[in-house]
Amino acid sequence: MASKRHILPGFGISMGWSVTWVSLLVLLPLAALLGKSASGGWEHFWETITDPEVVASYRVSFGISFLAALINGVFGFFAAWIFARYEFPGRRLLEAATDLPFALPTAVAGIALTALYSPNEWIGKHLEPLGIKIAFAPAGVLVAMIFIGFPFVVRALQPVIADLPADVEEAAACLGATRWETIRRVVLPPLLPALLTGAIMSYGRAVGEYGSIVFISGNIPYKTEITPLMIFQKLEQYDYPGAAAIGVTMLAASLVIVAIGNRLQAWGNRFRKEA
Amino acid sequence: MASFIDFRNPPGSDRRADTAVRATAEPLWIRRILIGSVLAFFILFLFLPLTVVFQGALAKGFGVIANAFQDHDILHSIQMTLVVALIAVPANTAFGVAAAWAITRYRFMGRGLLLALIDLPLWVSPVIGGLIYVLLYGRRGYFGPWLTAHDIKIIFALPGMAMATIFVTLPFVARSLIPLMQAQGVEEEEAALTLGAGGFQILWRITLPKIRWGLFYGVILCNARAMGEFGAVSVVSAKISGRTNTMPLEIERLYNDYLFPQAFAVAAALALLALVTLVLKTLSEWENARQFEASRRVSLETTIEPLSSPLT
């Protein structure tokens, strides 16, 4: 069985198994998604994805996610930096807790954030007198998206910060650069691709997120409804072509986001080799 | 020597110590601000939500929790979650090992495509992960009429929920193994082959022991996601409490019925699972790093040995 090209045995079974599995569980269903989205005709497709309520949901899913990615970019960078460079009590605990949003089921996160930020609860009751509404408002969607996307930036940056050679920073300091100049001109440029990659990944995750958002958002039409929820609505009306049309649109958008992320990563790797 | 160190860092002088390291470190006040703001971020977005879950569960006392875990519907949701995980995790573990083996051991056409398809569930919305199966097996899906005629129920039943869960957890084991097996190489497997070992002998005796921590890491992540999945499963489940609700779906039902202590009791059980997962994950990362370090030391010793031993 083992041919000259494949020295180790098992090519047939491992390859056959993985290809069959992926075909049945990913390829075939994706083909069904494309097929169904076309089955209602082009007009129905276009009408569905440009429906005002659906368009409003893009603003929430794609717009607020962008804001969340920016905030996560800043705090993710700070967190990755202090984990790598500073020694302080509780550092390992924080480092391990970074992945909590990966491990905590989204429904649990959803009801916890809602309980925290509702008008008469823990944090919400202190914000209410100030006129700040978080739960059941766009700010609530933002909070859930920050929660869900945070680990990506930290995890993308950590290995790159660990790889930074100390001698270039020492050289910059010896040549008379202030610490701020060193950070801005020597430290930040090689970190930038990884930072952007992490931010893009957290953006992509927030765009598709459902579970943690639907509790805190209150699902107010035209205000806090997210695009995945629109798919639900179409399914409830048995409008399969419409649901598939929104699904295809989201899939295409995610594809673009991932492609940008991969490009950035490739750029960063080239940067690292040159450095 | 000691006096030199004492001169640069006189005991009790924070400011002097700070000036000594200023060249390649941030001033103390910036460090304090950074640590403080990250700590505040963690408290606000990670630690407080976690606290709220346990506080919400305990708010009405242990009696409510004890009662909640005797409730038929809640017990059934726990059973459903376990059944779905028991299907999805072993299935994706076997797939992950096979896929990692194929991808790291051989070069073949479509290898990049296979990798991309394994990654796909990571970046696709979980709702789409449920939707695609409804379009295939739902009443108005492609196979719907045939399935109805043969009285087979996939959507709004266990098979559909298991499939959607397998979809969202597909990447975890394969993704944890591929970089590890790539880094480890195939020398030992090839040596076993020349000594006459068969395929499954190599897998069982050489490869699996080598990758066991990476495999463990992938399996616990896969399991956490399988037990906690909400979006994909809620598309394909009929959401009937006591019949097709998993724990996350049951949380939603209890929450929408204003049964908050019960909802938080189930949520606390899942949060505990998440904490156990994080601890195991961190331990296996440390173990991985330790083993990597150890294997590097061993390889260093073996390359040095011939030089130090004149007999060889």
ipTM reported for the complex, 2 dp: 0.89
**The residue count for chain B:** 312
Domain count, chain B: 2
| Interchain contact, B48 vs A123, CB within 8 Å | yes
**Helix then strand then coil, % of chain A, to nearest 5:** 80, 0, 20
Residue B158 sits in the same domain as residue B300: yes
Distance CA A128, CA A148 (A): 24
* pLDDT computed for residue B18 by the predictor: 46
Residue B114 sits in the same domain as residue B220: yes
A148-182 pLDDT, tens digit per residue, is: 999 999 999 988 898 888 888 888 888 888 888 88
Tell whether B99 is covered by a domain. Answer: yes
Residues of A in contact with B138 (CB under 8 A): 240
Chain B nearest-CA residue for A94: B42
Q: Which among B105, B132, B222, B282 is the top mutation candidate for probing chain A, defined by the most A β-carbons within 10 Å of its own β-carbon?
A: B132
Distance CA B213, CA B55 (A): 34
Residue type, A271: F
A55-96 pLDDT, tens digit per residue, is: 999 999 999 999 999 999 999 999 999 999 888 888 989 998
Nearest to A8 among B35, B105, B124 (CB): B105
Residue B54 sits in the same domain as residue B76: no
Nearest to B26 among A103, A179, A229 (CB): A179
Tell whether B11 is covered by a domain. Answer: no
Residue B222 sits in the same domain as residue B137: yes
Tell whether B18 is covered by a domain. Answer: no
* pLDDT computed for residue B12 by the predictor: 46
* Residue among A263, A267, A244, A245 nearest A255 (CA): A263
Tell whether B117 is covered by a domain. Answer: yes
CATH code (residue B96): 1.10.3720.10
* pLDDT computed for residue B164 by the predictor: 96
Nearest to A247 among B131, B252, B263 (CB): B131
Nearest to B108 among A15, A30, A112 (CB): A15
Nearest to B117 among A27, A88, A113 (CB): A27
Q: Which among B35, B127, B146 is the top mutation candidate for probing chain A, defined by the most A β-carbons within 10 Å of its own β-carbon?
A: B127
* pLDDT computed for residue B9 by the predictor: 45
Q: Is the dihedral of CA A166, A167, A170, A175 positive or negative?
A: negative
Distance CA B163, CA B169 (A): 10
Residue B113 sits in the same domain as residue B176: yes
Tell whether B41 is covered by a domain. Answer: yes
Residues of A in contact with B99 (CB under 8 A): 14, 17-18, 21-22
Residue B198 sits in the same domain as residue B161: yes
Residues of A in contact with B25 (CB under 8 A): 85, 179
Tell whether B192 is covered by a domain. Answer: yes
Last residue of a domain, one of B36, B58, B80: B58
Domains of chain A, earliest start first: 36-274 (1.10.3720.10)
* pLDDT computed for residue A227 by the predictor: 94
Distance CA B125, CA A206 (A): 9
Tell whether B5 is covered by a domain. Answer: no
Residues of A in contact with B49 (CB under 8 A): 109, 112-113, 116, 147
Q: Which residue positions in chain B have pLDDT lower than 50? A: 1-20, 301-312
* pLDDT computed for residue A272 by the predictor: 62
Residue B242 sits in the same domain as residue B97: yes
pTM: 0.87
Residue B111 sits in the same domain as residue B197: yes
Distance CA A27, CA A33 (A): 10
Residue B45 sits in the same domain as residue B188: no
Distance CA B280, CA B286 (A): 10
* pLDDT computed for residue B288 by the predictor: 75
Question: Average pLDDT over chain A, rounded to whole?
Answer: 88
Tell whether B22 is covered by a domain. Answer: no
Residues of B in contact with A81 (CB under 8 A): 34
Chain A nearest-CA residue for B52: A112
* pLDDT computed for residue A264 by the predictor: 85
Residue B277 sits in the same domain as residue B221: yes
* pLDDT computed for residue B22 by the predictor: 57
Tokens of A244: 């598939």
The parent domain of residue B43 ranges over 27-58
Distance CA B189, CA B203 (A): 8
H or E, element range at B278: helix B260-308
| Interchain contact, A103 vs B274, CB within 8 Å | yes
> Could you tell me how many CB contacts below 8 A there are between chain A and chain B?
282
* pLDDT computed for residue B21 by the predictor: 53
Q: Which residue positions in chain A have pLDDT lower than 70? A: 1-6, 271-275
* Residue among B209, B177, B205 nearest B295 (CA): B209
CA angle A258, A259, A260 (to 5 degrees): 90
Chain B nearest-CA residue for A31: B132
Residue environment code for B283-304, b if the CB has 16+ CB neighbours within 10 A, otherwise e: ebeeebeeeeeeeeeeeeeeee
Largest CA distance in chain B: 90
Nearest to B278 among A100, A108, A204 (CB): A100
Residues of B in contact with A116 (CB under 8 A): 48-49, 52
* pLDDT computed for residue B180 by the predictor: 86
Cβ partners under 8 Å of residue B150, min gap 6: none
Residue B42 sits in the same domain as residue B178: no
Tokens of B160: 């559909």
* pLDDT computed for residue B98 by the predictor: 94
| Interchain contact, A231 vs B186, CB within 8 Å | no
> In a 10 Å sphere around its CB, with 0-12 CB exposed, 13-18 middle and 19+ buried, how is residue B222 labelled?
buried
Residue B94 sits in the same domain as residue B151: yes
